Amino acid sequence: MHFQEIRRAAAQGTISLPPPMDSEGLEDLAVLKSCLKVIRELSGFRYAFAKDAMAETFAPLMASVEAKNELERQGLKVSLKSYFLSLILKDLENPDIVTIDNYINALFNCADAAANGPITVQTVVNVANSFPQDGINWRQNPQTEEEQILLQPDTFPDSKAVQVELARWEKYSKELRDLDPLVHALLTNLYFMAISPLNRHNGRVTQILLQLSLMGQNINSPAPCLMLGRALMTNAHFGIEERLYGLRTRQWSPYLQYMLKTLSKAILLSGDLLASLQRLYAQTEAYLKMIGLASHAAFLPVIFKHPACRTGEFSSIFTTRRQVASHILNDLARAGILERVEDGRDRVFYHTRLIELLESENYSFSPLPASIDPFVPLYQKGTPGRTKREPLPTREDALPKFSVTGD
């Protein structure tokens, strides 16, 4: 795989480090053209995402897809349906599901700091500590018997060689000089990958650092993540020998071309995912209006933000009674938008088309019904969910009425 080959070459001393500090040797016209192309594509994706009213809802969904792709790149399989269910059950015991949750937290928790400055050792510490169950530590540091080993911001590896390389890497990350920002981000990422200062999961941390370093240059999507996992799976074995030869001889063009191609692919996949999410939302909204449930369109942001939901959570979000929440969710299930699954005394509603979209390779989903038998919804806008009881008739009301007329 990409990360393993780079690390193996670095361990054998066949990669010339550190990368260049300025544009010397990087005046390759093909690289410069590719940089401009990728930046234009990033800007286009960024604009499309920023103008979408559902950007805040779509962001964690896209991050969950990237986290799933990262696990699949490691040969693991995980169901996003199980992940979304675990969020409402507060049951994060499956290690793969925990990794997805930690991956998303690492992206969002480190995003603000990364956008305000360069990637540093502190950033590495924050990302590594987002995976507490994995016991990530500095390479060649002794392990303890503690279940969770968290890195401290002021600690460095015990190995003097790793200390020196890590300090050089941080200095390189902070000094942009006259390098193109995108080229600098890619070379910084390569440098970290080559020294691999952590005892495990250097590849995963490197991938998150690349997402964050692009944000730091203000050229990444505000998502904040691109579909790098899928793009790397597609291009992982392309031209590795040529790229390694270039790194040995300080000819950076093959590696940069490879990474720019990967970024371009990631942007394309991210745009496709965003477009599919927008299409599903628009089609669902139009379908609800067609079948006479226009008032229920107001609840779409919630079922997109929570693809697995129960009556209690839905009631809390809208601060309404459970009966009203139950009526709304059951209406959407009867309309074919949600799938109701009985689990003992629990009842879970799944947004099946959304989950299908997120798990499919081409971000597709089953078409909505062309028509539906008309039915009277349990919930109607403006009603509290329980009709006011009519007063019982009195004895006088039950007696016959007589009229007295005079001659």
Domain that holds residue 333: 291-359
Q: What is the pLDDT of residue 318?
A: 78
Residues 266 and 186 in one domain: yes
220, 240, 272: which is the final residue of a domain? 272
Asked, for residue 48, whether it belongs to a domain, the answer is: yes
Q: DSSP 3-state assignment of 273?
A: helix
Find the CATH number of the domain harbouring 248.
1.10.3290.10
217, 239, 272: which is the final residue of a domain? 272
Which of the four pLDDT bands, split at 50, 70 and 90, describes residue 241?
A: low
Q: What is the pLDDT of residue 147?
A: 39
Q: What is the pLDDT of residue 237?
A: 62
Which of the four pLDDT bands, split at 50, 70 and 90, describes residue 367?
A: very high
Q: What is the pLDDT of residues 131-188, one digit of tens each?
A: 888 888 887 755 544 434 445 544 555 567 777 888 889 998 888 777 888 888 888 8
Domain count, the chain: 2
- Candidate from 172-176, 237-241, 325-329 with smallest mean pLDDT: 237-241
Mean pLDDT on 272-300: 91
Do 58 and 52 touch, CB atoms closer than 8 A? yes
210, 241, 272: which is the final residue of a domain? 272
Asked, for residue 64, whether it belongs to a domain, the answer is: yes
- Candidate from 66-75, 85-94, 114-123, 370-379 with smallest mean pLDDT: 370-379
pTM of the entire predicted model: 0.82
Residue for token pair 């599901």:
97
Asked, for residue 235, whether it belongs to a domain, the answer is: yes
Tokens at 96, concatenated = 């793969």
Residues 192 and 92 in one domain: yes
Residues 224 and 321 in one domain: no
Residues 305 and 189 in one domain: no
Asked, for residue 371, whether it belongs to a domain, the answer is: no
Residues 318 and 236 in one domain: no
Residues 253 and 305 in one domain: no
Asked, for residue 402, whether it belongs to a domain, the answer is: no
Q: What is the pLDDT of residue 397?
A: 53
Q: From the CA atom positions of the chain, what is the Rg in Å? A: 28
Q: What is the pLDDT of residues 344-354, one digit of tens each?
A: 667 899 999 99
List, in sequence order, every residue forming a beta bridge with 198; answer none if it has no partner.
138
- Residue 348 is inside which H or E element, if any? strand 346-350
Altogether, the residues listed in the chain come to a count of 407
State phi, psi for 132 to the nearest 5 degrees.
Answer: -65, -30
Q: What is the pLDDT of residue 135?
A: 83
Mean pLDDT on 222-251: 72
Residues 42 and 93: their CA atoms lie apart, in Å, by: 37
Helices (H), 360-400: 395-398
Asked, for residue 397, whether it belongs to a domain, the answer is: no
Residues 143 and 260 in one domain: yes
Mean pLDDT on 245-270: 85
- Candidate from 135-144, 156-165, 293-302, 388-397 with smallest mean pLDDT: 388-397
Q: What is the pLDDT of residue 312?
A: 86
Asked, for residue 346, whether it belongs to a domain, the answer is: yes
Q: What is the pLDDT of residue 144?
A: 47
Residues 136 and 262 in one domain: yes
Q: What is the pLDDT of residue 360?
A: 92
Residues 175 and 170: their CA atoms lie apart, in Å, by: 9
Residues 159 and 308 in one domain: no
pLDDT for 385 beyond 50: no
Residues 340 and 309: their CA atoms lie apart, in Å, by: 10
Residues 220 and 307 in one domain: no
Find the CATH number of the domain harbouring 315.
1.10.10.10
Asked, for residue 301, whether it belongs to a domain, the answer is: yes
Of residues 401 and 359, the one with the higher pLDDT is 359
Residues 190 and 297 in one domain: no
Do 123 and 111 touch, CB atoms closer than 8 A? no
Residues 263 and 266: their CA atoms lie apart, in Å, by: 5
Q: What is the pLDDT of residues 81-110, one digit of tens each?
A: 988 988 887 766 777 788 888 888 888 888
Give the closest residue to 349 by CA, choosing from 399, 377, 307, 392: 307
Q: What is the pLDDT of residue 384?
A: 46
Residues 140 and 267 in one domain: yes
Q: Which amino acid is at 348?
A: V
Residues 129 and 137: their CA atoms lie apart, in Å, by: 9
Name the most confidently modeled range: 51-55, 153-157, 183-187, 266-270.
266-270
